[in-house]
Amino acid sequence: MRDVAAAADVSLKTVSRVVNRERGVGPETVTRVTDTIERLGFRRNDLARSLRPGQRTTTIGLVVGDVGNPFFSGIARAVEQVARDEGHLVISGSSDEDPEHERELIATLCMRRVDGILLVPAGRDQSYLLPEIALGTAVVFLDRPPGGMSADAVVLDNVGGARRGVEHLLARGHRRIGLLRDSGTVLTAQQRTSGYRAALAGAGIQVDERLLCSGLHDAGDASRATRELLALADPPTALFAVNNRMSLGALRALRDSNHSVALVGFDDLELADMLTTPITVVAHDPAAMGVTAARLLFRRLAGDTRPQQRVVLPTTLVRRGSGEVTP
């Protein structure tokens, strides 16, 4: 409220009267204050009003893409464990990779005055968080760095991991390698596609854009895309899937196909090593990402003022069989 008062050139009491719809404030002043409130993103918060100065809620917020995805559920479970050790409760939600829903969830968390926020960004611009950060809310990003601002982030080596996965297929003699990816607006998909392209370029192979399937939302989409690829006059002899759901879709299509196609997927799958042909994957540890990000958040809450950190977690190629199929 002090920021609103200063920006509108009125007293703190005047802002309070406008917010609480009290009498005694002229219409021009009301307009000026309300316009300033809208511009600064101020929200009345009855929970915050009930807290003593400096008192915390001992809660943190977590927003992921889809908690039903094993990757995100692994992160959430790890965050909950760290928060429990720190005496905090986690309030979580799924953005469904929708930037507007992301903002709605963040607004709700801020209204509840969470002490800190862990966010897997869905949109390209998270600068709307800057006022909350200025007010003291700690924020750490997971899986993808923020857009429109700089902040602490814990991410994967997406480009390097994807490149190693595709290079593994190239080393087995594959030259026509299909790509299954989700929305091109998702940064991780962009980075893994860059790794795919870099591997082909390194082998002197021109990318055949017909082999790139983008905008796949779930395993069903990936399955249909795989069948379409296999129906081409010159189908791919191998597939690279940018996440676990793309891999699941490809597996379903390959199960019903007469084609012998190699498959490497980014993200490990539960029971992947139990299949008839176990899946070769670019693996990483979702729990490590959750733990690393949560601990960084709590260090910030404890007063750590070191420069912003960008932690890049490694990936590992796990050879199990599907990626070793030759053309």
Instruction: Name, in order, each residue with C-beta under 8 angstroms of 294's C-beta and a sequence gap of 6 or more.
Output: 60, 78, 79, 82, 83, 118, 140
pLDDT tens for each residue of 122-131: 989 999 999 8
pLDDT tens for each residue of 198-253: 999 999 999 999 999 999 989 999 999 999 999 999 999 999 999 999 999 999 99
Q: Around Cβ 286, how many Cβ atoms within 10 Å?
A: 23
Residues spanned by CATH 3.40.50.2300 within the chain? 56-155+286-312, 158-283+317-324
Helices (H), the chain: 2-8, 12-19, 27-40, 46-50, 70-85, 99-111, 130-134, 158-171, 187-202, 219-230, 244-255, 286-301
Is the pLDDT at 52 greater than 50, yes or no? Answer: no
pLDDT more than 90, % of the chain: 71
Q: Around Cβ 10, how many Cβ atoms within 10 Å?
A: 18
What's the confidence (pLDDT) of residue 101? Answer: 95
pLDDT tens for each residue of 20-37: 667 778 878 878 877 777
CATH fold, domain 2-42, is 434 Repressor (Amino-terminal Domain) (1.10.260)
What's the confidence (pLDDT) of residue 200? Answer: 98
Distance CA 198, CA 201 (A): 5
pLDDT tens for each residue of 237-250: 999 999 999 999 99
pLDDT bucket at 301, cuts 50 / 70 / 90: very high
Is the pLDDT at 42 greater than 80, yes or no? Answer: no
Angle at 216 between CA 75 and CA 148, to 5 degrees: 60
pLDDT tens for each residue of 252-300: 999 989 889 999 999 998 777 777 778 999 999 999 999 999 999 999 9
Is the pLDDT at 43 greater than 60, yes or no? Answer: no
CATH number of 56-155+286-312: 3.40.50.2300
Q: Around Cβ 200, how many Cβ atoms within 10 Å?
A: 22
Is the pLDDT at 12 greater than 80, yes or no? Answer: no
pLDDT more than 70, % of the chain: 93
Residues spanned by CATH 1.10.260.40 within the chain? 2-42
What's the confidence (pLDDT) of residue 185? Answer: 78
pLDDT tens for each residue of 148-201: 999 999 999 999 999 999 999 999 999 999 999 998 778 999 999 999 999 999
DSSP-derived letter for residue 209 is G
SS (H, E, C) 243-299: CHHHHHHHHHHHHCCCCCCEEEEECCCCCHHHCCCCCEEEECCHHHHHHHHHHHHHH
**pTM for the model:** 0.79
CATH fold, domain 158-283+317-324, is Rossmann fold (3.40.50)
pLDDT bucket at 56, cuts 50 / 70 / 90: confident
- Mean pLDDT over 75-81 rounds to 98
What's the confidence (pLDDT) of residue 112? Answer: 87
